[in-house]
Structure 1
Amino acid sequence: MPEKILIIDDEHNLLDVVSDYLRKNSFEVYVADRGLKALEMFHEIEPDFLILDLNLPDMSGEEICREIRKISDVPILMLTAKTSEDDKITGFSLGADDYLTKPFSPRELVVRVNAIIRRAKSKGNLSEIYSFRNEDLVLDNSRRIVRKRGEEISLTPNEYKILHTLVQYPDQVFTRSRIVSVALGFDFEGYDRTIDTHIKNIRHKIEDDMKNPTYILTVYGVGYKFMGDVK
């Protein structure tokens, strides 16, 4: 069955163009031009993907994202005319999976949608063992074991949770606050900046060169991402 995509935007020309491109790529498309209407439709159709504009007449896209994240981890691609770093950080911290600035190419949007959906499917279908770069790094989640070049390495419980979370979403940027909420939970008693210390410790254990990491990369001004294809 084709994935169901709900597009939420009050620009009707954009809705028409984006809908056409997505339908041509075999998606089942639904549209809403108001936030409240979109939330109603979300419960009715249970979409597999959300394309969400931040500037809506009745409520902000941030509010919608916040409401959706209370009940669902459906992938969300945010659309906005805002270009500041703070706006992007806010979007990611609320749980957006990607961020596309207007104006944009509909072809690029389709590519991003497909990439995010592949990552989301991978998260649900991957085996319990994640292997990278010819078994240079192996994470056996069923036994909560991590190996570097065949040697078992010791991670603290929080370090393991953070690494496991990043591994499940390769090439996806995580803010510190999102790492806290997804990996450690809202009852985590540390601070966002504590994540920097955890990342430093994980890198010390899995990277060949701390100054030039190849697995966990820093996205300056935003957070971190994990690089490597799961096999």
Structure 2
Amino acid sequence: MNSSGTELGRILVVDDDATVRDVVGRYLRRDGHEVVEAADGEMALHLLQRRPPDLVVLDLMLPGMDGVEVCRRIRDAGSTPVIMLTALGEESDRITGLRTGADDYVVKPFSPGELALRVASVLRRARNAVEPNAGARIADGDLQVDTGARTAVLGGTSLTLATREFDLLAFFLSHRGHAYSRTELLSKVWGWEFGDQSTVTVHVRRLREKVEPDPASPRRIATVWGVGYRYDGLGD
């Protein structure tokens, strides 16, 4: 953490545009982060294997192996936070990135300053348990979540959750029975006062795929029509 309170980390920037890598790298280094760069997916995965970073800034449109496949492989290997860079106006690209497991996205052309703030926010979320039950162990039937260790276990099997997926699950478990709108969830879980509500929709869908006995007929995370979502749970 630097003098301004920003969480510091080792950031891998993956983009085939050298200018984008240079600009993003300069802003992140200015904040005190260590930055490494890759121009394609193969190099990114090599660097990830050699020394995992604290966060990856990943362009969706890469030559050869695209950003979606790189993100999928990052998720298969663990829970390293990923911020996806997507094209302006391409909602389908943003949703695809989120479905693959990206924790956040920034639309090109973007403000490097905004990206630096998003990096700090995601790093902070990745390193701190969700309030108000920081350090608590919460159970719902065969689902057990430890917010201090940031682990989730279902039926004795550890779940691989992206940073925002874990935060959302922990928040739901801590506030079961209460309905929240997508706007409220963006504020309380993502820390955004504005943003694309499809971000919440996609993360809820991904969580259901991981924690529901039948994701098509969810029993834990209920849809409250006209409002948003409510965590009902299966019971202790």
Q: Common fold, TM-score beyond 0.5?
A: yes
2:207 aligns with 179
1:90 aligns with 96
Task: Output aligned runs, 1:133-148, within 5 Å.
Answer: 141-142=136-137, 144=139
Q: CA deviation at 1:32?
A: 0.3
Q: 2:133 aligns with which of 121, 130, 133?
A: 130
Larger radius of gyration: 1
Which amino acid in the other structure matches residue 43 of structure 2? K
Q: Is the 8 A contact 2:14 2:44 kept in 1?
A: yes
Q: CA deviation at 1:157?
A: 6.0
Q: CA deviation at 1:86?
A: 2.3
Q: CA deviation at 1:212?
A: 5.3
Backbone CA RMSD of aligned residues: 3.5
SS at match of 2:57: strand
Task: Output aligned runs, 1:129-208, within 5 Å.
Answer: 130=133, 141-142=136-137, 144=139, 165-167=169-171, 170-171=189-190, 173=200, 175=202, 176-182=204-210, 184=211, 188-192=212-216, 194-195=217-218, 198-200=221-223
Unaligned runs of 5+ residues in structure 2 are: 2-7, 146-153, 155-165, 173-187, 191-198, 232-236
Task: Output aligned runs, 1:7-156, within 5 Å.
Answer: 7-81=13-87, 83-123=89-129, 130=133, 141-142=136-137, 144=139
Which amino acid in the other structure matches residue 93 of structure 1? R
In 2 relative to 1, CA 195–41 (structure 1 residues): closer, same or farther, beyond 3 Å?
same
In 2 relative to 1, CA 38–28 (structure 1 residues): closer, same or farther, beyond 3 Å?
same
Q: In structure 2, what is the Cα distance between the partners aligned to 1:95 and 1:163?
A: 13
In 2 relative to 1, CA 164–110 (structure 1 residues): closer, same or farther, beyond 3 Å?
closer
Q: In structure 2, what is the Cα distance between the partners aligned to 1:87 and 1:62?
A: 9
SS at match of 1:79: strand
Q: In structure 2, what is the Cα distance between the partners aligned to 1:107 and 1:57?
A: 26
Give the number of equivalent residue pairs.
182
Report sequence identity in percent: 34
Q: CA deviation at 1:165?
A: 1.0
TM-score of the two chains, using structure 1 as the length reference: 0.66
Q: In structure 1, what is the Cα distance between the partners aligned to 2:20 and 2:168?
A: 38
Q: CA deviation at 1:156?
A: 6.5
Which amino acid in the other structure matches residue 7 of structure 1? V
Q: In structure 1, what is the Cα distance between the partners aligned to 2:19 and 2:128?
A: 33
TM-score of the two chains, using structure 2 as the length reference: 0.65
Q: In structure 2, what is the Cα distance between the partners aligned to 1:106 and 1:84?
A: 20
Unaligned runs of 5+ residues in structure 1 are: 132-139, 145-154, 204-209, 218-223, 225-231
Which amino acid in the other structure matches residue 173 of structure 1? V
Q: Is the 8 A contact 1:54 1:78 kept in 2?
A: yes
